[in-house]
Amino acid sequence: MSRSRTVGPLAGVVGALVVVEATSGVIQGFYTPLLTDVARNLDIHDSDINWFEAAQLLLSAIVVPLLARLGDMIGHRKVLIGSLIVTAAASWGIAFAPSFWLFTLVWAIQGFYVVWLPMNVSIIHARARKHPNTAELTSKGAGLIVVALEAGAIGGALVAGQLGGLLPLWMTLSVPAVLVTIALFVVIFKVEDPGTRAGGKIDSSGTVLLSLALLAITGGLALARVNGFTPFVWGVILAGGALLWWFVEVEKRKDDPVIDMHLISRPTLWPVILTSALFGVSVLGAQGPLSTFAGTNPDEVGYGLGLASAERSYLIGAYVLSLLIGAALYARISRIFQPRPVLIAAAGLVGAGYLLLVPFHGGVLIVASLMIVAGLGSGALVAALPATAAAAAPPHQTGVATGLTNTTKTLGGAFASAIFALALASGVDSETTTAASLSGYQTVWAICGVTAIIAVGALLTVPKVAFTSADPDAEGLGEGSDALALEAIGPDVVVSETQRRPRPPEAPAPQSPDIAQEDER
């Protein structure tokens, strides 16, 4: 089959969404080499950097399921544009925020960018369904935006490291804001509304309960930063846990829940959702500690790598490049083996990389090597988890299914970031040093490694033919339900629809003009 047939019909929209995901990658990679400089500029302790991530991931965990549901209801393009506007405003705020608390606020609001990937995948899928070769079109489109995301993260880290030593900090921090603003206009002018709608309504009560639960748990951890784990702090955390249990019980009875508990309970979906949460601990929660450890001067405290911002950018860039390689290798290796054992091996690599960092962290080469090991596994999981979760979802819930992996991943990262902040602050005298403690860094790496090993155990419970179209029953499909299976995830996602029985006819979605076919690129 010619390349023009497999890529041409979606070339315009995918090209625009590549800009969006590349910008998302820049956001994820750009700031990390600069975190030590940000801490010095705001006159805060290195451990306080983790509260930026905790706040952003907490907000993301709240808004992603809400926006994913809203995207299915009112249109994924509208939600994408709205989230771009909010992210652009927050990105400009980051460049000029003068204080720790204001910086934390705008950093948190920037977390709206997390919804871009599920919205982009849903837009591509909706457009591809208008063509006979839906699977190939979605495969190529999804693969291109994943590559763009990883490439943006690598480029962002490297550029930030170089600019950090040349420009004032506010000017360097303005670069992501400029790129988000450009991406906003690209979507407005280049992405048409595919016209797909699922109907339904927003679960306001569920959203409020989830927000209160997450705020209580994270707020309790934040209070522990100031006063330690007092009875009051434990009470706040337990109240958050009780609210979270209440949220789950309420959602089970809702027709249009903000998080579909019945969808999560499918036999092949719950291990993926749990893996996403555990994976979020390392892929989202551990990047700040890695950057600050690399910037810590060993001549002053006896540990750390003592790297400048440019050198830290190379370390971060090597890690992110390993993510991209891991995603590409997963797509190819899973054609030879079943996706399930490859996913298990990927989680095992993450665990091994972080656990080995606990005793071996004395030089740049060993730290970089172990981070690359963890990155190879992480890349496979980043590419695979959204689509394997969608394998148990009906076509009209693809936004919700892909959003679930982001929601749980950000939840894992949010709680981990708060816990890591406490661990890194323990055992140091903030009056004499701004460096976090070595025992705190070792605790961070140990937690990342152990959670990855637990994810391996969860994935072992999945049927061997899961994440393929071979056996709908093994994929946990209920009687009369269908699934959108995104197999062999990564740069070559394969999409197939499987059914237990024919579905009732659906009203055709409003048609928009087809995108002009393009020749080979």
Instruction: Report strand pairing: 494-499 vs 482-487.
Output: antiparallel
Contact 186, 57 (CB under 8 A): no
Low-confidence ranges of the chain (pLDDT < 70): 1-11, 131-139, 194-200, 225-228, 258, 268, 331, 386-387, 389-403, 427-434, 463-521
Provide CB contacts within 8 A for 380, sequence distance 6+. Answer: 326, 327, 329, 330, 342, 343, 346, 490
Give the pLDDT of residue 503. 40
Give the pLDDT of residue 505. 44
Residue 114 sits at the vertex; the CA angle it makes with 466 and 9, to the nearest 5 degrees, is: 70
Q: Which amino acid is at 85?
A: I
Give the pLDDT of residue 480. 29
* Residue where the block lists tokens 């019909």: 9
Give the pLDDT of residue 186. 93
**Which pair of tokens denotes residue 121?**
């995948």
pLDDT digits (tens, 9 = 90+) for 293-331: 888 888 888 888 888 878 888 888 888 888 878 877 876
Give the pLDDT of residue 358. 93
Rounded CA-CA distance 329/318 in Å is 16
Burial class of residue 68, CB neighbours in 10 A (0-12, 13-18, 19+) = buried
Helix (H, G, I), strand (E, B) or coil at 491: coil
Give the pLDDT of residue 125. 77
* Residue where the block lists tokens 């994976």: 279
Of 213, 214, 237, the C-alpha closest to 225 is 237
Q: Other C-beta atoms within 10 Å of 228: how many?
A: 9
Give the pLDDT of residue 132. 63
Give the pLDDT of residue 194. 67
**Which pair of tokens denotes residue 444?**
């961070």
Helix (H, G, I), strand (E, B) or coil at 448: helix
Rounded CA-CA distance 84/78 in Å is 10
DSSP 483: E
**Which pair of tokens denotes residue 10?**
């979606």
Give the pLDDT of residue 1. 40
Give the pLDDT of residue 486. 32
Of 298, 297, 294, 321, the C-alpha closest to 309 is 294
Rounded CA-CA distance 125/148 in Å is 18
Find the length of the chain. Answer: 521
Residue 300 sits at the vertex; the CA angle it makes with 296 and 306, to the nearest 5 degrees, is: 30
Backbone angles phi, psi at 519, to 5 degrees: -75, 180
Provide CB contacts within 8 A for 89, sequence distance 6+. Answer: 109
* Residue where the block lists tokens 């400048």: 308
Give the pLDDT of residue 490. 32
The alpha-carbon radius of gyration of the chain (Å, integer) is: 22
Rounded CA-CA distance 407/54 in Å is 14
Rounded CA-CA distance 450/278 in Å is 9
Helix (H, G, I), strand (E, B) or coil at 375: helix
pLDDT digits (tens, 9 = 90+) for 87-124: 999 999 999 988 888 998 999 999 899 888 878 888 88
Contact 95, 170 (CB under 8 A): yes
Of 17, 322, 329, the C-alpha closest to 154 is 322
Backbone angles phi, psi at 483, to 5 degrees: -135, 145
Of 180, 154, 199, the C-alpha closest to 89 is 180
DSSP 8: G
Of 72, 15, 45, the C-alpha closest to 518 is 15
